[in-house]
Amino acid sequence: MNDISYDPSYSDKAILHKIGEFIKSKRVDQNITQDELSQKAAISRSTLSLAERGENIALINLLKILRVLDALYVLEQFRTQPQISPLQLAKEEEKKRKRASKKHSQTDKEDPGW
């Protein structure tokens, strides 16, 4: 665990509250009512209200809300980058061409000039 895990401002409740504030802020910025957002996201208004208050909701409902708000970019932090081992990287470097080669034309191969 890292140091943030022990910070009381990062408790589960505090994180849910921050997510709720984010959702409400995005909704208000876009001038969308709770009813409109909940209909577009195919969730109940009470579920949206729970989310905005920082209560527990299903993850799928959070994704629906973020999608409608065009805020799925917040999930970019979860994207993993493939890790290449140094050994694999060295093998890939060996496969790369080091020099250009002269192209042989078809006429040279067909007509030896005898």
Q: What are the tens digits of pLDDT across the range 3-44?
A: 666 677 788 999 999 999 999 999 999 999 999 999 999 999
Position 20 in a domain: yes
- pLDDT level of residue 1 (50, 70, 90 thresholds): low
Query: What is the spatial distance between Cα 5 and Cα 2, in angstroms, rounded to a whole number?
Result: 6
Yes or no: say if 91 and 85 are a contact pair by the CB < 8 Å rule.
no
Can you give the CATH number for the domain in which 43 is found? 1.10.260.40
The structure tokens listed for 110 are 């067909």
Q: Helices 45-52 and 34-41 meet at what angle, rounded to 10?
A: 110
13-31 exposure pattern, b = at least 16 Cβ within 10 A, e = fewer: eeebeebbebbbebbeeee
* Whether this model's pTM surpasses 0.85: no
Position 29 in a domain: yes
SS3 of 15, please? helix
The structure tokens listed for 37 are 């957002």
Position 107 in a domain: no
Convert the pLDDT of each residue in 93-112 to its tens digit.
877 777 777 776 665 556 65
Query: What is the spatial distance between Cα 79 and Cα 70, in angstroms, rounded to a whole number?
Result: 18
The structure tokens listed for 95 are 């496969």
Position 57 in a domain: yes
DSSP 96: S
The structure tokens listed for 32 are 């969308």
Position 36 in a domain: yes
**Domain count of the chain?**
1
Position 63 in a domain: yes
